Amino acid sequence: MTGSLALHRGSLYVGSEEKTARVRVFDLDGRERNPGFSFRDARAGRSAAAGVAVDDDRRVWVADTPCSRVRCFSIFGKEETGLGLALDAPLATPPFDDARGRITVPVDVVVRGDSEEATIVVASGGERRHAVQVFDLARGYVYSPAPDGRPHGTFRGVRGIALSGRFLYVADATGGRVHVYRDGGFHFSFTLRTAGGAPFEPVAVAPFEDGRMVIACAGAASALLLVDPSGVLERVLAEDGEHDGGVAHPGDVVCEGAGGAGARVAVIDRDAERVQIFTREGRCYGAFAARA
């Protein structure tokens, strides 16, 4: 259980799950703005909020991994639309399908636009060519970015994606790389390494408007890292640790602001139990419980 975050117009949407998936809404000081909603798929007996995104109409898109579906809810929890396996389809569909346009085991989602015109990017887990797919709300499947720009390459284990301006970011945890795409084409990729030389496992990436990125890393060495627009490490914001100010197996990260001194970073960790707020310099403002 990793938890997920989305930041939209000053509201922090926090996704968590046990058997029942739940989305709650807070401000960045940890005050609950909306109790949100919960859901559980009757076929699977469980659901997950592995990824959360919010469109310009405040509809909440949730990557429900067990059901191979990206669900779209109103802020009040009414399910309105979605992508992937139909709600009335049996779950006997093969759990690993790498066909373009097919969504299986989604682990993250990002969205840009509104109910009239929207771009939805979906990440699926596992080693596959079409781990990241771009959809248009009206036209359906559009394209799949190529891993490292190689048309026949494969992602090894995508965990997180992000959109900012012309750029799409992909955190491939198993591959130990962050991939950056510009205007749909491959731009560059990079690997971050621990002091001992082992690659970090990036599970989420949050870009600032100035091009800097905050990378949440899990695995044997949890960390929160700030990198420059070319992927070079600038600062370790938080090291591995259960205490406030450390990070323990983070699941997602989001950023607020253009990247200046007043920018804030939210990270969910400790099996989706805790949300912490950091400055760009790595000072921890505080923490609050992600689950009731």
Half-sphere exposure of 67 (CA within 13 A, CB side): 29
Residue 19 has pLDDT above 90, yes or no: no
State how far the Cα of 268 lies from the Cα of 16, in Å rounded to an integer. Answer: 10
The CATH number for 192's domain is 2.130.10.10
pLDDT tier, 89 (very low <50, low <70, confident <90, very high otherwise): confident
pLDDT tier, 93 (very low <50, low <70, confident <90, very high otherwise): low
pLDDT of residue 96: 67
Say if residues 21 and 71 touch (Cβ distance below 8 Å): no
pLDDT of residue 291: 80
Number of domains making up the chain: 1
pLDDT of residue 94: 57
Residue 92 has pLDDT above 70, yes or no: no
Q: For the chain, what percent of residues have pLDDT higher than 70? A: 98
pLDDT of residue 240: 95
Residue 37 has pLDDT above 60, yes or no: yes
Range of 229's domain?
4-289
Is pTM beyond 0.85 here? yes
